[in-house]
Structure 1
Amino acid sequence: MTQLTYYLKHEGMRTETNYGQLNISADEAYGFRPYQLMVSSIAGCSLSVFRKILDKQRVAYEDVIVTANVTRNEEEANRIEKVHLHFVVKGRYLKEDKLHKSLQTSQKHCSMVQSVKNSIEIEETLECIPLSL
């Protein structure tokens, strides 16, 4: 079990991590907004697992970028309804069908995606950009 302690501040809250202090606030001027942390957790986990799979399969890529587009419902406390993750993989000798399979596998093994799968729709798309020799 992991325990985190949060301290209330006038502008929001803070917690200490191994990497330093994390400030959370409804006002971006004072820290990360909670929805930004949620989306970052989903995107970061998904990208991390995808990278591990690509590395394990010895896929030669030069860069992987993920963009997150978020759909929120203002009528229900501005809740996150959908996160669309668009992956762009750049490299030589890329096999798009293999990358799609790897992305599907990563979704099954990403703890953050699995944690929200019945409450937030997660859509993942992939684009390959071949680099010339």
Structure 2
Amino acid sequence: MECSVKWVDDATFLASTGSGHFVTMEGAADAGGKNRAPRPMELLLAGAGGCSAFDVVTILKRGRHAVTGCEAQLKAERAETDPKVFTRIHYHFIVRGKALKREAVERAVSLSAEKYCSASIMLGKTAEVTHDFEVVED
């Protein structure tokens, strides 16, 4: 995996990923940012949420469950001093589907958290990571 990050101006940076995509990032206002793009740590958290939500959907689909939607809502706390690593991250999944079994969703969330989601497992080295979920019938 490769990535290149280039300084654009002020506190703005442009990342170019190995898969050929671009993401703009910007530092906070107190560091010269102008609130034109997400902060790098926000993208880190978003990536963990995307990784885990992808796992949950994939696991449910492979089990032939009629999943129609999945949203991961993450709340994180950071250390007050440098390095300001994440110290707590809570994932709340809202999983939609037709006749989805609660046990199947619980299993998918657990498998993602404990086995498949590299991002959250890596962040779990510095943060207390918790999960919960709700199932919504379509």
TM-score over 0.5 (shorter chain): yes
Q: Are residue 22 (structure 1) and residue 28 (structure 2) matched?
A: no
After superposition, what is the alpha-carbon deviation per residue over 1:15-67, rounded to whole angstroms, capped at 9, x for unaligned? 22345432221136232201111101110000011111011001112211111
RMSD: 1.8
Judging changes above 3 Å, is the alpha-carbon distance between structure 1 residues 50 and 21 closer, same or farther for their aligned structure 2 residues? Answer: same
Number of residue pairs matched?
A: 130
Residue of 45, 55, 78 corresponding to 1:39: 45
Question: Amino acid of the residue matched to residue 8 of structure 2?
Answer: K
Give the C-alpha shift of residue 105 in structure 1. 0.7
Q: Secondary structure at the match of 1:37?
A: helix
Inter-partner Cα distance in structure 2 for 1:52 and 1:129: 18
Percent of matched pairs sharing the same residue: 20
TM-score (norm 2): 0.82
Residue matched to 1:13: 13
Judging changes above 3 Å, is the alpha-carbon distance between structure 1 residues 28 and 91 closer, same or farther for their aligned structure 2 residues? Answer: farther
Question: Amino acid of the residue matched to residue 79 of structure 1?
Answer: V
TM-score (norm 1): 0.85
Of 2-11 and 93-102, more deviation after overlay is shown by: 2-11
Of 24-33 and 112-121, more deviation after overlay is shown by: 24-33
Judging changes above 3 Å, is the alpha-carbon distance between structure 1 residues 119 and 28 closer, same or farther for their aligned structure 2 residues? Answer: farther
Q: Secondary structure at the match of 1:61?
A: strand
Judging changes above 3 Å, is the alpha-carbon distance between structure 1 residues 76 and 87 closer, same or farther for their aligned structure 2 residues? Answer: same
Residue matched to 2:95: 89
After superposition, what is the alpha-carbon deviation per residue over 1:81-108, rounded to whole angstroms, capped at 9, x for unaligned? 1111100112221111221012101122
Of 36-45 and 59-68, more deviation after overlay is shown by: 59-68
Inter-partner Cα distance in structure 2 for 1:33 and 1:74: 17
Judging changes above 3 Å, is the alpha-carbon distance between structure 1 residues 75 and 102 closer, same or farther for their aligned structure 2 residues? Answer: same
Question: Amino acid of the residue matched to residue 124 of structure 1?
Answer: H
Alpha-carbon contact 2:7-2:13 (below 8 Å) kept: yes
Q: Secondary structure at the match of 2:65?
A: coil
Residue matched to 1:100: 106
Q: Secondary structure at the match of 2:47?
A: helix
Inter-partner Cα distance in structure 2 for 1:3 and 1:63: 30
